[in-house]
Amino acid sequence: MPYLTKALIILLCLLVTGECRRHRVRRWTGTVETQKHGTSLTKKPPDVTKSRKPKTENLLQVDDHDFTMRPAFGGPAIPVGVDVQVESLDSISEVDMDFTMTLYLRHYWKDERLSFTSSTNKSMTFDGRLVKKIWVPDVFFVHSKRSFIHDTTTDNIMLRVFPDGHVLYSLRVTVTAACNMDFSRFPLDSQTCSLELESYAYTDEDLMLYWKSGDESLSTDDRISLSQFLIQKFHTTSRLAFYSSTGWYNRLYINFTLRRHIFFFLLQTYFPATLMVMLSWVSFWIDRRAVPARVSLGITTVLTMSTIITGVNASMPRVSYIKAVDIYLWVSFVFVFLSVLEYAAVNYLSTAQDRRERKMRERARSQSLPCTCGISGTRTMTMLDGTYSEADTNSLAGYTEEPMVPEEEQEEMHEVPEKPEHMVVHLSVSSESTTTKKKKSLRALNIIQNTHAIDKYSRMIFPGSYIFFNLIYWSVYC
């Protein structure tokens, strides 16, 4: 009996416990249902990413095809359209003869192996990870020195696939390519450079590379500018390139023309050179006897012109032909150098003329009639003009004659007080014709006394010749 009572009590406890648990579950479920039937703002959209869908590779059937081969292999050449958007023209190097350009390169082709079914007919866009699993054109830049695809923050590659199999493949590239420049007219030149695109492996029988929209396939940013060049024109061309060992290839060209700004070189090269030439002409107005002034001025201008020529050539490639700036600088250097030679000629001729004048004076003294007059004084007067006749000379017969005393001895005589003071008058006895000749020679000596005749002519010849050279130079190169 006691055992039966215990069993009934335990059974009753179990029943009570079960009812309590059932009641709690009902209360929790009711709360959730109340939240679900509440306002629509608290309703969460379904998470699509958690739904099971086929992978991209399965949707595009990447694993079902061999993408190591081009589309329509064995058939006609696959057409690949190209368009380019130039983002920036970074630099032009005359020394290395190259340019650097950043651009968006886009390819368009159709690959039926990538077609897929779509109810909305919308394309699918992928990044660079899918590019390694499908076929893409192997376009490269001919004559490129360096190039790279930007990878910040990820590889700048986009792949867009349409349901019918059309593909858009876009990438952002910076390329440094060679440009054959002609500096014969530098810095008054214009340069035409080209960026060339070509398939590396596929000839024109396998891949037909073409501009997708003709000249409109190339677009540029209006803000593109360079410090030394004015971008005049961008245009596209295409032609076939032949390699003897592999065959014919389609090649696309991005051509652009650059005209150099001349104002920088006018300030840095032409104006300083012109000023140095004009400065060398100042020596023509300096007295020929001021040797230090004229020599230092000539040497300074020559050294300055040498510095200008060296600075210009340091920023240029070592070409074997003459540039336009070389012609101007070297002609200016010749003008400066000739001004130095001009003073050397003036100095030499002046020295020679002084020697001849001294000899003529000594010869005139040796042929004159000296006489000492009883006139007190401390000065000596010498007459060399030869204007006295024989009658004038005979009128001085009462004076005591003494030999002619040189000027140096006369100065010593002035310094010695013991000597009697006297005046020596030298009267030259000559005919009328001799007198006329001496007047003309003395007049010629007076002309050369302060400025040499070469200086007078140089003041007109040098500026006139340099102006004439500038007129010819700028009319030819501008």
Give 10-residue mean pLDDT values along the chain (478 residues).
67 68 50 43 52 56 77 90 95 93 96 85 88 92 95 92 93 96 93 95 94 92 88 92 94 95 93 96 90 92 94 88 95 96 89 85 76 46 44 45 48 46 44 54 50 85 96 94
pLDDT at 443: 54
Nearest to 209 by CA among 247, 153, 251, 151: 251
pTM recorded for the entire structure: 0.66
pLDDT at 33: 40
Looking at residue 46, what is its pLDDT?
A: 58
What is the reported pLDDT for 55?
A: 56
pLDDT given for residue 441 in this prediction: 57
> Quick one: pLDDT at residue 86?
95
- What does the pLDDT read at residue 101? 96
Instruction: Look at residue 334 in the predicted model and tell me its pLDDT.
Output: 96
